[in-house]
Structure 1
Amino acid sequence: MSETARLICEVVKSARHDEMYLYLDKAQGMSPVPEALRERFGRPLPVMTLLLRPERPLARVDVVKVIATIRAQGFYLQMPPAKDPYLLDLFTPRDID
């Protein structure tokens, strides 16, 4: 296996948005993240450090895509999962007579 297929990654979560995460090259940290995204993301809260490898899948994202994106732009942004339409009803205010 090529060393370029592995990456030591730091995962941080957003203090402002539930289930929004940044996967970062541990050696570079937040430096490649654009200022506009930093402002929207808020204070990064450390979650974990891990060795990304193609043969070791991640739970919600394709590990090969994560590695490639970090190598290309310095970070990978994982957005919160889309809410199923029936779950959105939980957050819809209702007039009760």
Structure 2
Amino acid sequence: MQCFVYKSLKRADTFVFLRERDAFDLLPPTLAASLGPLRFVIELALASERKLAQEDVDMVMANLAGPGFHLQLPPPPVTPGG
């Protein structure tokens, strides 16, 4: 499954995976507004065997097959001594 990854220029370390290139109409309007402008980062071929750095590839593929997008938020902050 091909996907297209975009970085939010408004929200640090926030990425959107889309099932179609530049298909921003797949995003709910409130989400699109909160993300601000998006910059294309990379096109990826996803498969269950592939590992992603911060996301579960099967969850990403399910979201792409369903609503057509997957939102990757920054990891939660690490608390000292946590």
Same fold (TM over 0.5): yes
Distance in 1 (alpha carbons) for counterparts of 2:48 and 2:62: 11
Larger Rg: 1
| Number of residue pairs matched by the alignment | 80
Please state whether the residue corresponding to 1:23 is helix, strand or coil: strand
Equivalent residue number for residue 68 of structure 1: 62
Q: Quote the Cα distance in structure 1 between the aligned partners of 2:40 and 2:49.
A: 24
**Unaligned stretches of 5+ residues in structure 1:** 1-6, 87-97
Matching residue of 1:55: 49
Q: What displacement does 1:80 show?
A: 0.7
**For structure 1, which segment, 19-28 or 9-18, has the greater mean C-alpha deviation from structure 2 after superposition?**
19-28
Q: Which has the higher contact order (CA 8 A, sep 6+)?
A: 2
Higher helix share goes to which structure? Answer: 1
Q: TM-score, normalised by structure 1?
A: 0.77
Cα gap change, 1:68 to 1:28, in 2 (>3 Å): farther
| 4+ aligned runs moved over 6 Å, structure 1 | none
Letter paired with 2:26: P
The share of aligned pairs that are identical, in percent, is 31
